[in-house]
Copies of this chain bind each other. A is one copy, B any other.
Amino acid sequence: MSPEIRNRILDAAARVYAQYGFRGATTRLIAMEAGVNEVTLFRTFGSKAQLLQAMMQSQVAATAAPILSDDVGDPERELTEWCGQLLEYLRGHAHLIRKTISEAEERPDAACAACEGPNTAGASLALYVERLRDEGLADPDVDIQTAISMFISALFGDALYRDVMPNSFPQPAKSAPSKYVQTFLRAVGLRASSLPVRSRPARVAGTRRRSR
């Protein structure tokens, strides 16, 4: 019943699960990590499956994926900030997401829950870019859906795989958001209102370091 112990168990379960997956997250390991007797797990959550399900819910409830504002101001600045926040969110949950998705066939509901955050983030981006195009800032002839899909995949890949295959991510993690956004805007055919996009030197990234 004690909420303090309950949360300690949930946090420990999240750590152990993120490292070892469902099968590897034994009740003994979780209890040790939480500094709690193993029996307490079963008295509090009933079973290992229920415990990990509760852990999953608490994880998705704890932090929310970032949402882009409704009205478009400076696209590059707004997108870069959103992109940095989303990357931070994804990196914080990288191991958990990786494990959950790789076990999607055995536990599809858990995978569904883990994808909720990224999905809403992607939908938010789609809405924003639609506005961009409505306001004549993006090339209307361009395949925007594909650009969005590739953008989201790039953020996913960066957050989930940068540590495993660093060769594929040459730019440092800090400057990645602005570079991703610039490339994305170029692909979307941003019609610069103030600045020309295609012939701008890459120096811009440095002047906007204060986004975190």
Binding site for B on A (CB under 8 A): 19-21, 23-24, 98-99, 101-106, 111, 115, 118-119, 122, 139, 141-143, 145-147, 149-154, 156-158, 161, 164-165, 167-171, 179-180, 182-184, 186-187, 189, 198-202
Q: Is the CB of B149 within 8 A of A186?
A: no
Given that A105-B19, A183-B187, A186-B142 are known contacts, is A119 also in contact with B165, CB under 8 Å in the complex?
Answer: yes
Q: Nearest Cβ distance between residue A136 and chain B, in whole angstroms?
A: 15
Copy tally for this chain in the complex stands at 2
* A186 proximity list for chain B (CB < 8 A): 142, 186-187, 189
The distance from the CB of A171 to the nearest CB of chain B, in whole angstroms, is 6
Chain B: minimal CB distance from A178 (Å): 10
Interchain CB contact (< 8 A) of A183 among B24, B143, B168: B143
Return chain B residues, CB-CB under 8 Å to A145.
170-171
Measured between alpha carbons, how far is A46 from B161 in the docked complex, in Å? 32
Whether the pair B156, A161 counts as a contact (CB closer than 8 A) is yes
